[in-house]
Amino acid sequence: MAKVELKQPIVAEISELFNDAKSAVIVDYRGLTVEQDTALRKKLREAGVVYKVYKNTMIRFAAKGTEFEALEPHLEGPTALAVSKEDATAPARILAEFAKTADKLELKAGVVEGTYYDEKGIQVIATIPSREILLGKLLGSIQSPITNFARVLNQIAESKEA
C-alpha cells in the first residue's frame, strides 16, 4: 500500500474535525508529563473539545482551502490540535488555564469563528466566559430591575397595611 493511501484517512479525519468547527487551537505540548497530558485531555473531553496530536503536514493538507489555513505558519515542531464544534472559546479557555499550571504547554495560534488569532489573541479569547455563563449574566441583569421593582411594590404594600 502506498504512503499516500495510508495518509488519506488521517487527512479526512482532520478535515471532518474542521468541518462545522467553531474554533481550533494548536499547541506545543513538548515537556508535558503523562499525568499532565491525561488531566488536560480529560478537561477538554468534558467540554466537548477534540484534542489530538497530528503530523503538521496532515493538518496542512486538511486545512488547505479552509479558514483554518491561517494556522499554517505555526505548524512547526510537535503540534496538538484542539477543536470544538459547540463552544467557540472552550479550547482557548481550557488550554490557557491549563498552561498556567503546566508551563511547558505553549499556545501557538488558533482560529475562532473564522478569525485567526496569534498566541496573544488566543490568550485574550481565553478570558471570554462560555456562552452559558454569558447568557446567565444577561438573564440576571434583565431580571434584576424587575426583582427590585417587585420588592419596592411589596414594601409599599406592607407599609400601607401597618
Within 10 angstroms of residue 42's Cβ, the number of other Cβ atoms is 11
Question: Cα dihedral sign for 8, 13, 15, 19?
Answer: positive
Q: What is the mean pLDDT of each run of 10 residues along the chain (162 residues)?
A: 75 86 89 89 91 90 87 88 88 88 86 86 76 74 78 83 70
Within 10 angstroms of residue 123's Cβ, the number of other Cβ atoms is 15
What nine digits make up the cell of 22?
A: 467553531
Burial of 6 (0-12, 13-18, 19+ CB in 10 A): exposed
Pick from 113, 124, 118: nearest CA to 83: 113
pTM over 0.85: no
